[in-house]
Every structure is written in C-alpha cells, then in structure tokens.
Structure 1
Amino acid sequence: MEITNPWPDGWRLAPLAAVMLLPLCDGAARAGSAGGFTDPDTIDRAVVAFTGSAIGTPGGPRIPADRRLRLAACEAPLAVAWHGNARSSVRVECPGPDNWRIFVAVDSSGGSAPSARPAPPAIKRGDALTIMVRGRGFSVQQSGEAMENGAVGEWIFVRTARKAEPLRARIERPGLAIIPAS
C-alpha cells in the first residue's frame, strides 16, 4: 500500500503502526551530516533492548523501523523511554545538534507481555534541582523545581520560579535537568 506524503519537504512518513517521525532539524541539516544517516537496525536494537522483547512478539516492537528513514547520524547513544502511560509506544531520541525523535509502536495485544520495568525516579515532583541550558560552547544554570517525577533520560516539566512558565528538560542525573539549546 502506497502512502502519499502530505507533509512539507524534509518530513518523512512511515507506516503509522511502526514509527512516527517528528523532525527537529531541516532536511538540509540532516543530509549534510558528516556521519551520514542512522541505520534503522540501530533503532531496532535499541528498542528491543529497552523492551526486552523481540520484534513482532508481545511487549516488543510491532514491526521493524522503516528502512526508508533518513535520520541524521547520531553522535550520542540513543535515548529510549516509554511514551505515555499506556506503554503502547517507545520514544527513541537522538540528542545533539542534529537531534530527532521517533515513536515506535509496541505490541501490547494479547499474550503475556512482560511487565514494564520502569526506572526508579531520579527526580521527584517538588524536588529542588539545577536547570542547565547547554549549547555549543556554553552553559547557563539556575536553580529550579521539578513539576513531575522522572528517571534519568526522561523529559519532564520544570520551572525556575513559582510563577514562571513550565519548561521541558531532560534529566541528566539526580538533581540536574538539561535544556539543550540549538
């Protein structure tokens, strides 16, 4: 079945049961990456390792990542976490200058899917923490407060003052949340 891509240039469309790409960089940046592209097998291995179940089995990815994906080469290890409370999909992210994020559907139908092994929270709601904005060649930090629980590698809402707008930050370690500047 052929799917027409209604999205602007630089967006990739894959079977909805498999992955959904949210481009965080334009096509030129992706094509110009010195390291080429991320191999979809790398994504598959990361999701299988995270879920503990093989592709097509209960608890594992429904199908392999689409081989047509052309995602920027990832300089850092892929960050993998559950997406949502239903645990019906896994979020795979590439941190860095050519960052990208996809969601991989997990087979949660029938069978005895393995129980999720959530990581213990590194930060709990209300915890005081350091919020760091980090970019190429600089970092700025300020104290703040966690607005929700989260494990290392997860994205949570934080705020710098009682009446400040919430910001999304990734937990680097207990007591430290990072907001990458692009």
Structure 2
Amino acid sequence: MGPCRLFNSLTGRLPRGAGLFCRRLAGALILFLLTSASLARPETPHQQDLDQLRADVKQYLQAHYRIPQIKQARVTVGRLDSRLRLKACEAPLALSVNDEERSGGNLTVHTRCPGPTAWALYVPAEVAVYREVAVASRSLGRGHRISPSDMTMELRDTGQLRQGFVVDADSALGKELRRPLKAGEPIRLGLLTEPTVVERGDQVRLRAQTGNISVDTMGTALSSGRVGDQIRVRNDRSERIVRGRVTGPGSVEVIL
C-alpha cells in the first residue's frame, strides 16, 4: 500500500496539495529502486586478466613441447607489467612461438587477440627442455674414431647446449673427432667428421669410367683421404700419377 493510500485510509481524506506530493514521492521511490537494481548487477569485466593470460601461455608451451623425443619440459612464464591494460579478449587467444626444433631456452610467445578488441604482445618465457643426448664416456683425443663404448646417453637441458647435439648415438659411430673431448662433454655433429678410409701408401683399386666402359687397375695412394676427398694416386702399371675421388675404403675413382 502506498503512503498516500495509507494516509487516506486513516483520515478519510487527503490534505490540500497532498496529491502532488504523493506523485512526486512515488516517482522518487521508482527512481531509487531502478538505481539500486543497476548498482546490484555485477559489472562486465573490461580488462584482460593478466594472470589468466600467463596461464594460457604456459599451457600452450607445455603442449608445444610434449613430443616423444622430449623427456621433460619445465616452463616458466615471465611476469607482465601490472600497469598493462588490455581489453578483455572475447575470442580464444592465438599463440605462436618461433622454435620449430623445440630446443627451448629463453624465448617469446606471440600472443594475439583476434576480433574487434584486437591486440598483440610478446610474452617472455623460459623452457628447460630435457632430452637424452650422447656424451663422451671418457676423455677422447683428436682424430679418435667413435665406438659404442665411447658414448653414453644422459638427460640434459638442451637449451643450455650448442646446436647440433647428438640424440641418435648410431649417427656418430665410426666418425672421427675434430678436437679432443672431456668425459661427460656432449658430442656434437660439428665435432665429427667422416673417417679416413685411405691412408698414404695404401694399395687402392683405381677405376676409370667413360660412358659404359670402365677400367680397373691397382695404384698407390700418395695422400690420405675420406669419402669424397680428391687425392693423388700413382698407377702401379703405368707409373703415371692421376687424381681421383675416394669412393670407399681402398677405392678411388679416376677423375677424367
């Protein structure tokens, strides 16, 4: 029951000017109720939650490095400036990182909000990627030819290693070292070279080929070489010195 109806029911009549007062009072009450209801409704967030953004980046990186070759990946997302103000993204964030080899280390994740509230930024992160890599099981000298007993596989943070670490021990077997290695030092492809298959003074088989015709004879290597190297060879029959390309152990193809 309104205040004016209550007063009228008690006195039987309204005083002069009470009608206008009652109408104004009713309008004020309606305005108050509408304003109260508006204040009670929670405001829609207008800014991007930076903690959630960092959580999304971490989840993305964990998925990016979840491959069989990686035994473990530890992701640390850098902090963002608390003064950063971004509009709340209504669409899922688009994330990308420039690390196709998945070697980890310090990197940045390109984080983009598509749609009408478009924005983009780079989020810093650090990923420690642990893989099994080949390391020297003992000290090895320059020119040493790698055998299975020279290597052991250990779990290492590859982000702290130089590129070219060996993850397949078989790929290093039979190769020679360009420089000495200490025990426990990772074996890198850049330190390996093909083995010498022809030594100076070796008897080698010389092959000369032109078209469909090939001629084989024996010769003496005047220098050492690896597969693909060009060396000087003396033809034992003609005593002529020729140049040839090493094609395998004890085998040289004459360059015509």
TM-score, normalised with respect to structure 2: 0.25
TM-score, normalised with respect to structure 1: 0.34
| Higher normalized contact order (CA 8 Å, seq sep 6+, divided by chain length) | 1
Which of structures 1 and 2 has the bigger CA Rg? 2
